[in-house]
Chain A
Amino acid sequence: MNTLDVIIQVVTALIVTMGFGFLFNIRGSKLMVASVGGALCWGLFLLLGIWIQSEALRYFLVSLCSTVYAEMFARVLKTPATTFSIITLIPLVPGGALYYTTTFALSGTIEPFITKMIYTMELAVALSLGIVIVTAVFRSLPRRTQQ
């Protein structure tokens, strides 16, 4: 993968995340934090690719980091972590894998279909596992006094 591709991907990840920010009615500085988060997530995913082969493992690690990012900014900007935690992972949603799964199912090639389907599920589980673990940790931390 050459440098230009990397730059294009990171920039488009930023645009895509911002686009979803508009669809989900995120406003002001929260929109900025979310978009930058999306670009950072994809950048991290590509960076980890240098050392780690397994995409599922990378998805899991990125999802861990993204949720920590979300929880931290949620505290800073006094907003629920949901604002950032899901949207920053939008570039990682396995839409491509889902598409190829369907294509293989249609063309009746069973073996690639099953391989691709399991792969798609692996990615989805890796993503949500990361979110769930970090959320659980942050929820068990003692709350700052609410008032």
Chain B
Amino acid sequence: MENPETYKVLSCILEILKMMIESGAEIYRVEESAIRMFKARGAKKVDVYATTSNIIVSIETSDGVIKTHTRRIGSITTDIERIHKLNALARDISSGQLTLYQIKQRIHTIQVAPTYSRFVTILFYGVIAGAFYLFFNGRNWVEFLCSFGIGLVTGVLSKAADHIRINKFWIKFICSFIACMIAFSLRRFGVIESIDYIIIANIMTLIPGIGLTNSLRDLFVGDSISGILRLIEAMMLALAIACGYIITSFVFGGVM
């Protein structure tokens, strides 16, 4: 493993690690795969420090070359398929079968792999909101349709937000605010009688359940910094959602 090669491998593997964190993998998984991959590529010592905001890797090869590299982590989403593929790639690299060129190709394949289309995603926002309405024992067909419709609106907003550079707390706030506004207006105009289940159903599509669970998991396996970062983020998001609801109920003159 001579000099330029070492550097390229380092950069490539770091890209994989970055993508893993950005798709929502746990920190311990990222650090463990990093160590395994570098060891398989001939590093003598590997030190990895990953958090949800950056990764630092330092490796020492058997001929005494020391390289350190760092990457900043962008926004974190949940993309299970990508984690699955990256994990498989990490496993193949650890078993030492792949050349540098093959690794690069695999990374590229993962980067361009399709996700579900925009239409499907938006539709499922509606389906989730509708299904949750029934799940919470709502039994009125007009309200069910309203819940489904509001879900679609939330879906459109969330998807539209992908194309605008906007802070994610604002996205959640706006989604929650508009969903609640529609629900409250419909009640005001006498279309529906109760809005509780509709609002709960739509809050469920926005709530940062995954972030919260991941944060607790990071905390309990000892990655305190990442755990705390994720926890604060999840709580801020929940607060943003609650604010949307609170402001709407003030607009509509007091509560209940």
Contacts and interface: CB of A to CB of B under 8 A. Distances in A.
Interface in B78-135: 78-84, 87-88, 91, 94-95, 115-116, 120-121, 124-125, 127-128, 131-132, 134-135
Give the interface size class of chain B.
Answer: 35 or more
B127 A96 contact: no
B152 to A, nearest CB: 12
Among A8, A26, A99, chain B packs the most CB atoms within 10 A around the CB of A99
A91 interface: yes
B84 A22 contact: no
Given A80-B83, A86-B213, A106-B255, A23 B125 contact: yes
Interface string A68-106: 000000000011101100110111010110110011001
Contact of A95 (B25, B88, B204): B204
A132 B217 contact: yes
B79 A19 contact: no
Contacts of A15: 127-128, 131
B26 A82 contact: yes
Nearest to B127: A19
Given A23-B125, A147-B95, A78 B80 contact: no
Interface in A97-147: 98-99, 102-103, 106-107, 124, 127-128, 131-132, 135-136, 139, 146-147
A24 B213 contact: no
B84 to A, nearest CB: 5
Contact of A23 (B83, B124, B214, B220): B124
A-B complex: 4 closest residue pairs judged by Cβ atoms: A19-B128, A128-B216, A12-B135, A95-B204
Interface of B: 24-26, 29, 36, 78-84, 87-88, 91, 94-95, 115-116, 120-121, 124-125, 127-128, 131-132, 134-137, 196, 199-200, 203-204, 207, 209-210, 212-214, 216-217, 220-221, 238, 242, 245-246, 249, 255-256
Given A8-B135, A128-B216, 7 more contacts: A12-B131, A15-B127, A16-B135, A22-B116, A80-B84, A87-B80, A98-B207
